[in-house]
Amino acid sequence: MLEDLLEKYPQQEDQLIEILLDYQSQKQHRYISEEEIARIAAHLGVSESKVYSVVTFYTFFSTEPRGQHIIQVCKDVPCYINGERTMRSVLEKLLGIRVGETTRDKRFTLEQTSCLGHCDGAPAMRIDDKTFTNLDENKIKAIISEYRGAK
Amino acid sequence: MLEKKLITARFDKINPLSIDDYVEHGGYEALSFALGMERVDIIEEVKKSQLRGRGGAAFPTHIKMMGVAKEEDEPRYVVCNADEGEPGNFKDRYLMENDPHQLIEGMIITAYAVRANKGFIYIRGEYDKPHSVLQWAIDEARKKGYLGKNILDSGFNFDIEIRSGAGSYVCGEEFALIESLEGKPGRTRVKPPFPTQEGLFQKPTMLSNVETFANLPHIVDMGGEKFAEIGTESSKGTKIISLSGNVKKPGIYEIPFGVPIRDVIEQLGEGTPADRKVKMVQLGGASGPIIPEYMTDLTIDFDRFENFDSKTGAGAVIVMDDRFDVFDILLRISEFFEHESCGKCTPCREGNLQLLKLVEKFVDRQSSEKDLANIESLARVMHQTSLCGLGQSAPTALLSTLQYFRNDFVDRIEHPESQ
Ligand SMILES: Cc1cc2nc3c(=O)[nH]c(=O)nc-3n(C[C@H](O)[C@H](O)[C@H](O)COP(=O)(O)O)c2cc1C
Ligand code: SF4
Ligand code: FES
């Protein structure tokens, strides 16, 4: 699967972030392993430590397995003053985990994020590549049960 | 009417996914006109318009254009900064989602003026929708001959590629962005040389904000002088304000420069939800100053932002009512900078960590006179010695509250038990 994806990209160093984003989004547990780092480095003809430094610099990437879905609650000021703390505790209760943890069934990881650029719809959160705004308790419950129902 | 719609004028009139709609509403006319102009004349119009960058630093756009145009090294690049990571800002998202061709047209005109044949839009990874809208628009523009080889039979070649960020605020800083575009961690370079001299892949690079490029077609269309009739002495044209926080109607509002902040809050935002008192307003974003309500009669103006010695006039206005405590707000801001610092230089890496600890002491009601003095001296050192704008402006919010809400600090130290 990684090899097929690598084929699509020119063998240029500046494609690294695009490759990592594309690959991680397709991986079930949304992380890039050490062995994959080595394969990507070999493909692009750069050192493993270079690829590793990029993977660890950007918050989107993880070197540890995470849940099938990544839930990120925005924590910056516009969201904070519009009820972010309540939203976070609703999610923690609903999922039975704290920020930074993954549910035991490996379905969800709960994280905090910097501003999502949707402050006019605060409080906001992101699940994988979708942003949800104007959250309240009921809305969060509906969203999570939808994700639980779907595979 | 407080609003003046220039670059948001088409928002409710066109389907952003339809290039025909855009063309019907005057789109790509400025481009076809510009392609018949001498390159220096385009830059001359931008000079007359007195357009200054909308990404925060308010640098005169024509100087940058001239800088790139006169470089001989090839290839030259045009890069659009669509990273928009400063908390409280979301206007670039609206510009990309609602009128993507306006940005593309602005980039093509700029590229023609500075003789660049390749462009990149660096868009933050969180912006999935604007990313796909833009990709669609770029593909359409290419099909219709506005991008690619021999644009509108002018002999000029230019194309645009979109690249994603991956969750890093500092990548909005110009050299961090360039490093990221090259596939590296987003850590800034020492200046000079400037991006106009040695930017992307060490080549001359014209890097500007989304809103800056969006103004280009209008400047060509109206002429620089006419454009400069909008706004104030120091700040020409319009500004899109991202209004958020405790207001009834948060959102984006395009105004001519010179409108008082209070009017934006009271008239456009319709005031606070429960008609509570406004306690603080943060301007520009997390790296901007926090001012008390009585100062909101200040007008929105580049010089105004410079008065606070903060370079972040990207146009965020974050309203906080009297339920909020200065320290809880400062805590969020300090956490943000501590997390987003790239770690390259010590004043920012260590300074933000120490500032966060000091702010936590105030939040926990464990603060002393000495902490207050430490905050002040640390903040000044960071401001003066950090390598890039992140570390330089990280203490701005703190310093402004020390100036305007000093009593809150003193009270907290002297009466830790009271509210
Ligand atoms: C930490 C930091 C973050 C920044 N983020 C952005 C951003 O998201 N978008 C932007 O246009 N400019 C941002 N800037 C400003 C850029 O460095 C640069 O000045 C700007 O993109 C130039 O475009 P302009 O001349 O059109 O304003 C940031 C600066 C710093 C120091
Ligand atoms: S000021 Fe901060 S973000 Fe900028 S280079 Fe130094 S450590 Fe990195
Ligand atoms: S602060 Fe939450 S989306 Fe901007």
- Superfamily of domain B19-227, CATH level 4: NADH-ubiquinone oxidoreductase 51kDa subunit (3.40.50.11540)
Q: How far is CA B301 from CA B95, B315, B397, in A?
A: 21, 10, 19
- Which residue of B165, B166, B320 is in closest CB contact with A81? B320
How far A131 CA sits from the closest chain B CA (Å)?
8
Nearest to A1, CA basis, from A59, A40, A34: A40
B164 with A18: Cβ contact below 8 A: yes
> Which residues on chain B are in Cβ contact (under 8 Å) with A113?
126, 167
What is d(CA A6, CA B332) in angstroms, rounded to the nearest whole number? 40
B244 with A16: Cβ contact below 8 A: no
Residue B154 has a pLDDT of 97
What is d(CA B180, CA B165) in angstroms, rounded to the nearest whole number? 8
Q: What is the pLDDT of residues A45-88, one digit of tens each?
A: 999 999 999 999 999 999 999 999 999 999 999 999 999 999 99
How far A15 CA sits from the closest chain B CA (Å)?
6
Question: To which residue do tokens 């965020």 refer?
Answer: B316
How far A37 CA sits from the closest chain B CA (Å)?
14
Copy the structure tokens of residue B106: 């602005």
Residue A151 has a pLDDT of 52
How far B182 CA sits from the closest chain A CA (Å)?
4
CB burial readout B277-286, b (16+ within 10 A) else e: ebbbbbbbbb
A58 with B185: Cβ contact below 8 A: yes
Copy the structure tokens of residue B409: 């600090």
Residue B419 has a pLDDT of 65
Residue B305 exposed, middle or buried by CB count within 10 Å (0-12, 13-18, 19+): buried
Residue of chain B with shortest Cα separation from A53: B185
Residue of chain B with shortest Cα separation from A130: B128
Residue A34 has a pLDDT of 96
What is d(CA B113, CA B62) in angstroms, rounded to the nearest whole number? 10
CB burial readout B255-267, b (16+ within 10 A) else e: bbbbbbbbbbbeb
B208 lines ligand 1 (CB under 6 A): yes
CB atoms under 10 Å from CB of B114, counted, come to: 25
Ligand 3: residue of A73, A82, A87, A116 to mutate (most ligand atoms within 8 A of CB) is A116
Domain limits, chain B: 19-227, 238-321, 326-411
What is d(CA B76, CA B56) in angstroms, rounded to the nearest whole number? 24
Topology (CATH level 3) of domain B326-411: de novo design (two linked rop proteins) (1.20.1440)
Over chain B (419 residues), what is each successive 10-residue block's mean pLDDT? 95 98 98 98 98 94 98 97 97 98 98 98 98 98 98 98 98 98 97 97 98 98 98 94 98 96 97 95 95 92 65 84 96 98 97 98 96 96 96 95 96 89
Chain B residues 208-247 within an 8 A CB cutoff of chain A: 242-246
- Residues B94 and B8: beta-carbon distance below 8 Å: yes
B340 with A131: Cβ contact below 8 A: no
Q: What is the pLDDT of residues A91-142, one digit of tens each?
A: 999 999 999 999 999 999 999 999 999 999 999 999 999 999 999 999 999 9
User: SS3 of A122, please?
Assistant: coil
Q: What is the ipTM of this complex?
A: 0.97
Q: Please tell me the distance between residue A90's alpha carbon and the centre of ligand 3 in angstroms.
A: 18
Residue B235 has a pLDDT of 93
Adjacent-strand bridge partners of A73: A112, A125
Domains and CATH numbers, chain A: 2-57 (no CATH), 69-149 (3.40.30.10)
Q: Specify whether domain B238-321 bears CATH 3.10.20.600.
A: yes
Residue B302 has a pLDDT of 82
Nearest to B341, CA basis, from A13, A59, A119: A59
Q: Please tell me the distance between residue B67's alpha carbon and the centre of ligand 2 in angstroms.
A: 26
A65 lines ligand 3 (CB under 6 A): no
- Residues B50 and B234: beta-carbon distance below 8 Å: no
